[in-house]
């Protein structure tokens, strides 16, 4: 690392001056996600069972209250997620940079974006960012081709160094530097250069990569009437991080400099441009991977004696299958994204084809091919595929409770409270236990403490009992015929295929996807005062035929994405 680290004291001092000491970055402390309140339409609570005559359930007859006007939520100051951090470095400096560890992401309320807005960097995390900054800076300046991406002249020349600081600052801080910042970074370069101006330029890069202005997104807006409006520069960052999981490119920064991102038509045009990039496909995959909890596949550990053929390779194939389905529905086919939960098709390799019992010409251990499930193959939608079934099961037997909980929380956005701390959750079969898991769960529900919650999540969970913990279809379990009957909010259903038919056109599924995207983009839960904007987003999604890319554009154009409450203590004008 040459002698840059030995001169790092000056860099660290400069960071303190350039980062945390600025008023615009003092608000960068993470803000907690606010607790959400239950919707009037029951989106966060168990839906009431319909009345026998098809009318309103008891207690639903009161006239609706007039809806309050939209009020934007408070700003959050998220740290870049690990993916955003890596993507930004790659975009600015090129591929194959040193990959040092950085503070790991957390996903409260499903999403890393919420974790990035609610967790503080540990002391170890600070050291990791510093280590990464020095290693990246060294790699960039040791490679003339990389260095030329940010420095095209001799830094001994004052005009060259000035242009370097301004250009690098704009890419990394996602805005133009103020004149005082330029002067301070120029001082860092001079103070650390010694006899080599390149060392001073390298010090600037290492310092900027540790600055809160790079690591945090301090988007607080500017006064616009009774509230704040995100600036054109802030909109460039919001648009890029949402649609590409990376910092804005030069085209977006140039648009921000021209003020275009405050204009509806220009904002939509740039959003659609970004959606055509490979990074957009990766960003959409990241959203759905967190939404569906695909990371949970890494924790699956089935009993190999009971599930021959189970392997880490099979789990990787299950994840790949879901990702291919998402890409197919969102980008190749377009149209109703709810078909992810209902369409009788999949992408299989050789192992998945064997698991599902389907012919898949061309499939190999690494090659995936599309298949359509005929009536002889009882599968339709994500909820009948290996990833969902395996993640939501136990090591030796299935779990109607976990599967039903997933349907309630992630498909319908209904809240399932955690079990009381003193409840025995052990349902393993004992000598005196009922012979089937269904009977043991029924016995468990006889406990009044458990009855209400299990009555809500087990009936839809029972619909998946024909699929074992590995996702194989079966007619019996331990010698007993499978009873896969259940219900959804009082509607009797026979099995998972019935459920797929029901949710295929259930508007709650579309509302849930819109709500989860709203949270993902906001880095927090929605507040009651933001409900009008969320409902408008849900309507736009429905009117588009539930096209996910149309939902992304509608979100970008919504007031909820463009307006923000003033920072505490700041008076609107």
3-state secondary structure 381-420: CHHHCHHHHHHCECCCCECHHHHHHHHHHHHCCCCCCCCC
Of 524, 517, 521, nearest to 538 by C-alpha is 517
User: Residue 378's pLDDT is what?
Assistant: 97
* Rounded to 5°, angle at Cα 30 from 27 and 35: 120
> How far apart are the C-alpha atoms of 219 and 176, rounded to whole Å?
14
User: Residue 438's pLDDT is what?
Assistant: 77
* Rounded to 5°, angle at Cα 190 from 88 and 207: 25
User: Residue 60's pLDDT is what?
Assistant: 54
DSSP line for 182-238: HHHHHHHHHHHHTT-HHHHHHHHHHHHTTSHHHHB-----EEETTEEE--HHHHHHH
Q: Which residue has the tokens 């299990």?
A: 454
> How far apart are the C-alpha atoms of 173 and 63, rounded to whole Å?
50
> How far apart are the C-alpha atoms of 554 and 548, rounded to whole Å?
10
User: Residue 49's pLDDT is what?
Assistant: 39
> How far apart are the C-alpha atoms of 205 and 186, rounded to whole Å?
11
Tell me if 165 sits within 8 A of 213, measured CB to CB.
no
User: Residue 6's pLDDT is what?
Assistant: 41
User: Residue 56's pLDDT is what?
Assistant: 41
* Rounded to 5°, angle at Cα 457 from 400 and 336: 90
C-alpha dihedral over 139, 141, 147, 151, to 10 degrees?
A: 140
How does pLDDT run across 155-180, given as a tens digit for each residue? 999 999 999 999 999 999 999 999 99
How does pLDDT run across 387-418, given as a tens digit for each residue? 999 999 999 999 999 999 999 999 999 999 88
> How many other CB atoms are there within 10 angstroms of residue 38's CB atom?
11
SS3 for 115?
helix
User: Residue 40's pLDDT is what?
Assistant: 38
User: Residue 532's pLDDT is what?
Assistant: 96
Report residues of the chain scoring pLDDT below 70. Answer: 1-62, 64-66, 422-435, 443-449, 569-573
> How far apart are the C-alpha atoms of 546 and 40, rounded to whole Å?
23
Query: Which residues, 6 or more positions from 328, have their beta carbon under 8 angstroms from its beta carbon?
Result: 347, 370
User: Residue 433's pLDDT is what?
Assistant: 58
> How far apart are the C-alpha atoms of 180 and 523, rounded to whole Å?
31
> How far apart are the C-alpha atoms of 227 and 565, rounded to whole Å?
5
> How far apart are the C-alpha atoms of 490 and 486, rounded to whole Å?
9
User: Residue 419's pLDDT is what?
Assistant: 78
């Amino acid at each position: 690392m040459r002698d840059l680290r030995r001169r790092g004291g000056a860099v660290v001092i400069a960071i303190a001056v350039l980062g945390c000491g600025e008023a615009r970055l003092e608000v960068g402390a993470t803000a907690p996600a606010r607790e959400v309140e239950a919707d009037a339409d029951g989106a966060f609570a168990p839906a009431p069972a319909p009345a026998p005559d098809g009318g309103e359930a008891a207690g639903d007859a009161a006239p609706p209250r007039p809806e309050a006007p939209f009020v934007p939520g408070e700003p959050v100051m998220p740290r870049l997620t690990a993916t955003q951090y890596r993507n930004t470095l790659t975009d600015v400096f090129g591929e194959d940079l040193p990959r040092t560890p950085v503070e790991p992401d957390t996903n409260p309320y499903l999403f890393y974006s919420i974790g990035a807005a609610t967790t503080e960097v540990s002391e170890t995390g600070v050291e990791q960012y510093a280590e990464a900054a020095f290693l990246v800076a060294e790699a960039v300046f040791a490679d003339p081709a990389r260095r030329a991406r940010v420095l095209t002249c001799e830094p001994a020349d004052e005009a060259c160094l000035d242009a370097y600081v301004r250009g690098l600052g704009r890419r990394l801080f996602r805005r133009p530097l103020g004149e005082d910042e330029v002067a301070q970074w120029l001082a860092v370069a001079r103070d650390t250069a010694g006899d080599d101006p390149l060392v001073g330029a390298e010090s600037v890069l290492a310092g900027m990569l540790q600055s809160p202005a790079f690591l945090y997104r301090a988007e607080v807006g500017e006064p616009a009437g009774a509230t704040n409006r995100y600036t054109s520069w802030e909109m460039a960052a919001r648009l890029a991080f949402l649609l590409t999981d990376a910092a804005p490119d030069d085209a977006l920064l140039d648009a921000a400099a021209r003020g275009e991102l405050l204009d509806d038509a220009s904002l939509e045009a740039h959003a659609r441009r970004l959606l055509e990039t490979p990074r957009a496909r990766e960003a959409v995959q990241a959203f759905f991977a967190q939404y569906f909890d695909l990371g949970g596949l890494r924790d699956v550990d089935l009993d190999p004696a009971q599930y021959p053929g189970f392997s880490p390779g099979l789990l990787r194939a299950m994840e790949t299958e879901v990702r291919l389905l998402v890409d197919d529905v969102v980008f190749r086919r377009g149209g109703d994204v709810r078909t992810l939960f209902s369409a009788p098709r999949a992408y299989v390799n050789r192992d998945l084809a064997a698991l599902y019992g389907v012919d898949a010409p061309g499939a190999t251990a690494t090659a995936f091919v599309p298949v359509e499930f005929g009536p002889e193959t009882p599968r339709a939608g994500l909820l009948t595929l290996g990833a969902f079934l395996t993640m939501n099961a136990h090591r030796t037997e299935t779990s109607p409770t976990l599967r039903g909980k997933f349907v309630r929380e992630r498909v319908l956005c209904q809240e399932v409270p955690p079990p009381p701390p003193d409840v025995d959750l052990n349902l393993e079969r004992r000598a005196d236990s009922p012979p089937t898991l269904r009977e043991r769960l029924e016995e468990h529900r006889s406990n009044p403490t458990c009855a209400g919650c299990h009555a809500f999540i087990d009936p839809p969970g029972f619909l998946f009992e024909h699929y074992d913990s590995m996702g194989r279809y079966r007619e019996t379990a331990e010698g007993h015929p499978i009873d896969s009957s259940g219900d959804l909010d009082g509607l009797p259903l026979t099995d998972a295929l019935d459920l797929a038919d029901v949710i295929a056109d259930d508007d709650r599924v579309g509302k849930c996807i819109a709500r989860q995207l709203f949270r993902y983009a906001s880095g927090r839960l929605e507040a009651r005062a933001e409900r009008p904007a969320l409902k408008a987003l849900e309507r736009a999604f429905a009117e588009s035929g539930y096209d996910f890319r149309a939902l992304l554009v509608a979100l970008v154009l919504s007031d909820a994405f463009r307006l923000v409450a003033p920072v505490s203590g700041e008076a609107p004008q």
